[in-house]
Structure 1
Amino acid sequence: MLLMQVADTARQVADSLTNGINPPVVAQEELRFGDLLIKGGWVMIPLVILLILALVIFFERYFTIRKAAKNESNLMNQVRSSVMAGKLDSAIAICRNSDTPLGRMLQKGLLRIGRPIKDIEGAIENIGKLEVSKLEKNIPIVGIVAGIAPMFGFIGTIAGVIKIFYDISKTDNLAMGTISAGLYQKMITSATGLIVGIIAYVCYQILNIMVDKVILKLETDAIEFIDLLEEPSK
């Protein structure tokens, strides 16, 4: 009997030492991205909508501007050859068939041939402004998204703080479990708002840079066209 008690005591000591050296592993719940979005609360809905809106406009404008920015040296050469040969109708048809901003600008200038150069320049400039306005369509919306997305994140932060104080007043408990939900909402919405704002801002700047390059190219080609019209009179 005594030996059995000693054996039980030795076994308990051994188990205690084993548990002390190798404590039992507690399974930790994985933190999933979808769960984080859900914990962000209702503010995540407008943030996701803003992100989708900015990306849709960006890709639509990106391919449109890229198409307008393609090299039109062949068009200029064809127009130059037709004008030098006195074939204005052929030059106008070439511009009409090109269906590009530069083609429409040159077509307007060709239709004004016979008038003072200033009138031709004015007509080309007006068409150029109209074409640039078409290229810039909806780009300001991306800039607006870049500005208001962080504000929505800040609204989520305020909502999270309110939730924290509401839960504390309701339970009269300052334990971490009581305030964790508000902290989740506070941090997730702030981070999401900043991320959406940064993405929209980068997209906005890229589109503006692309438009500026197109404007420079159109202005250069317009000057070359005016010089071409002035050559016979020199």
Structure 2
Amino acid sequence: MFSFIQLQADTLTNAASGVVVENIAANNEISVLEFIFKGGFFLIPIAILLFYTFYLIIERYLYISKFSKIDARLLGDVRDSLNSGNLDMARSIAERSDSASGNVIREGILAVGRPIAEIESNMDRAADIEIAQMETHLGHLGLIAGIAPTLGFVGTISGVIKIFYSISVTENISIGNISGGLYEKMISSGAGLIVGIIAYSGYHLLNGRIDNFALKIQKQVLEFVNIIQKK
């Protein structure tokens, strides 16, 4: 009889303990937004860098996609106009393409009649200008890739300094006090690394598209020069 009563008491105790643990766990749950805000002041500049990074990536991607298009029929139409001696038509065809390659070919058309070396030089300079316009503000992404993780690290270090200062004042060196402060301050490091990875990836992906365009435009310059030489 005593054993039965003891068993019932243990069961009730375990059940009550389970309820308490569940209530504590429920009370300790926080939303993702609340968790992020625990990162401290340095999350503000990191968030600003994140939005600017997305803006740069989207804006540059749209610009590069629009102006780096290579129209396979453009050189053929220009060749037909040049062979017929109609330079004005060839120039208007290049201008209508509304692309970087069209602008480069237009420079070559405007130089028709000059030495081949001069025509090629003019087209190369025009290509360099178009590439430079595509690369506008891309350096900012490279800068953010280095700054954002550094800001996050500085935020963590400043938080750790505050924790140890608090310990020196209150002499409270409990694990809960230290670990609670550390996980909050390391949020800024994680956020900075994420922003840095996004900026670094966007920088190299966009530069890859520009390099691809540079290769294609050089091929078009050579084709245009060959067309002029065959006239």
Fold similarity call, TM over 0.5: yes
1:116 counterpart residue number: 115
Distance 1:128 1:172 in 2: 67
Segment of structure 1 superposing worse, 205-214 or 189-198: 189-198
Q: List aligned pairs for 1:41-52, cutoff 5 A.
A: 41-52=40-51
Secondary structure class of the residue paired with 1:113: coil
Q: List aligned pairs for 1:164-203, cutoff 5 A.
A: 164-203=163-202
Checking the alignment, whether the CA contact within 8 Å between 2:94 and 2:106 is kept in structure 1 is yes
Is 1:17 the counterpart of 2:16 in the alignment? no
Which letter does structure 2 place at the counterpart of 1:17?
D
For residue 185 of structure 1, report the CA deviation from its aligned partner: 3.1
Checking the alignment, whether the CA contact within 8 Å between 1:157 and 1:190 is kept in structure 2 is yes
Checking the alignment, whether the CA contact within 8 Å between 1:150 and 1:193 is kept in structure 2 is yes
Identity %: 40
2:78 counterpart residue number: 79
Which letter does structure 1 place at the counterpart of 2:128?
K
Deviations 1:178-206 (Å, cap 9, x if unpaired)? 32442123321111111111111111110
Deviations 1:127-182 (Å, cap 9, x if unpaired)? 11111000001111011111111101110121121111021122111113432442
RMSD across aligned positions (CA): 1.9
Distance 2:184 2:139 in 1: 30
For residue 13 of structure 1, report the CA deviation from its aligned partner: 3.6
Deviations 1:68-89 (Å, cap 9, x if unpaired)? 2323112111111111111111
Which letter does structure 1 place at the counterpart of 2:18?
P
Deviations 1:97-154 (Å, cap 9, x if unpaired)? 2221111111111111111111111111111111100000111101111111110111
Checking the alignment, whether the CA contact within 8 Å between 1:78 and 1:91 is kept in structure 2 is yes
Distance 1:105 1:216 in 2: 13
1:32 counterpart residue number: 31
Distance 1:77 1:85 in 2: 13
1:103 counterpart residue number: 102
Gaps of 5+ in 1: 1-5
For residue 24 of structure 1, report the CA deviation from its aligned partner: 2.9
Gaps of 5+ in 2: none
Checking the alignment, whether the CA contact within 8 Å between 1:39 and 1:181 is kept in structure 2 is no
Checking the alignment, whether the CA contact within 8 Å between 1:167 and 1:178 is kept in structure 2 is no
TM-score w.r.t. length of structure 1: 0.90
1:3 counterpart residue number: none
Checking the alignment, whether the CA contact within 8 Å between 1:40 and 1:188 is kept in structure 2 is yes
Which letter does structure 2 place at the counterpart of 1:58?
I
Distance 1:194 1:126 in 2: 38
Distance 1:154 1:38 in 2: 16
Distance 2:37 2:88 in 1: 64
Is 1:226 the counterpart of 2:213 in the alignment? no
Distance 2:221 2:12 in 1: 84
Distance 1:19 1:79 in 2: 91
Which letter does structure 2 place at the counterpart of 1:16?
A
Distance 1:157 1:15 in 2: 50
